[in-house]
Amino acid sequence: MDQLNNYADSRLIRGCIYCGGPAETRDHVPSKCLLEAPYPTNLPVVGCCSTCNQGFSIDEEYFACLIESARCGSTDPTKIIRPSVARKMEKSSALRKRIEDSRTIADGISGFVPEMERVQNVMFKLARGHAAFELSLICGDTPDHFWCGTLSSLPPENHDIFNSVHFQEVLGEVGSRNQQRLMVIQMPIHSQNGEMHNVGMLINDWVDVQDNNYRYIAIDDMGVVIIRIVIAEFFACEVVWGILEDETQS
């Protein structure tokens, strides 16, 4: 990944970005359990206390195994695509059994009932991490909007909105990594009298952490913070702080 330095006010992001305690360690966002070795260089890291760091790891492990089981339709390690998850399922029979026990069949389609509290815990943590790293924002409050599900469960029109780049209206935190990533493009626009004008637009694009395994987009615009995450091109989530005028889901 590109190594971007944070030039935003350093007072904005201090200590553990999850609880405000001391930053005793560094936390990868996303966690390595959502990626495969060899890991991308310059993975995003945020300050984190030891308690938060350890507190998340069990849920993250469960989440990685659940998503992969759902994607592959099985908890059988020989049918799991991601090598690190297959090894984890091989080693941890208790975790494998826990996920297998949540199997359900609805309308002839097999799936797994997620432990939503744990899934939400991981999603909020990832979203807070991306907001801190990319936008130089601490999002400590409970999000105002949360949606997660499979990418394929989004209706086609929402699928396109979810996956598209964001046209930035207002610049976020000066010097943040996100602001350094914004691209300016010139777009020809027809005015009412038929003349063509070139209008500069700021494009906020998705960040590909690892091909086919993890991508995200972090948006800070018009008083709303939106984090969208896609895992294994299978599972998607959206976490929002502030009120969306035109929600793409729900």
What is the H or E stretch that residue 45 is in? Answer: strand 45-48
Tell me the closest approach of the beta carbon of residue 174 to Zn ion, in angstroms. 27
Tell me the closest approach of the beta carbon of residue 27 to Zn ion, in angstroms. 9
Contact flag: residue 18 with Zn ion (CB under 5 A): yes
Which alpha helices (H) appear in the chain, and where do they start and end?
50-72, 83-91, 93-101, 116-135, 156-163, 177-181
Q: Is 175 left (phi over 0), alpha (psi -120 to 50) or beta?
A: left
CA distance linking residue 165 with residue 168, whole number of Å: 9
Chosen residue from 1, 9, 10, 19 binding Zn ion by CB under 5 A: 19
Tell me the closest approach of the beta carbon of residue 121 to Zn ion, in angstroms. 13
Which of 13/49 has CB closer to Zn ion? 49
Which of 52/64 has CB closer to Zn ion? 52
- C-alpha distances (whole Å) from 164 to each of 42, 98, 178, 217, 247 are 25, 36, 16, 10, 14
Tell me the closest approach of the beta carbon of residue 46 to Zn ion, in angstroms. 10
Contact flag: residue 99 with Zn ion (CB under 5 A): no
Which of 45/81 has CB closer to Zn ion? 45
What is the H or E stretch that residue 47 is in? Answer: strand 45-48
- Contacts of 156 by beta carbon, 8 Å cutoff, 6+ apart: none
Tell me the closest approach of the beta carbon of residue 132 to Zn ion, in angstroms. 12
Per CB under 5 A, contacts with Zn ion among 21-80 are 21, 49, 52
User: CA torsion sign, 149 to 153 to 159 to 161?
Assistant: negative
Which of 56/235 has CB closer to Zn ion? 56
- The site that binds Zn ion (CB under 5 A) totals a number of residues, namely 6
Which of 56/241 has CB closer to Zn ion? 56
**Contact (Cβ atoms closer than 8 angstroms) between residue 217 and residue 172:** no
Contact flag: residue 86 with Zn ion (CB under 5 A): no
By the criterion CB under 5 A, which residues form the site for Zn ion? 16, 18-19, 21, 49, 52
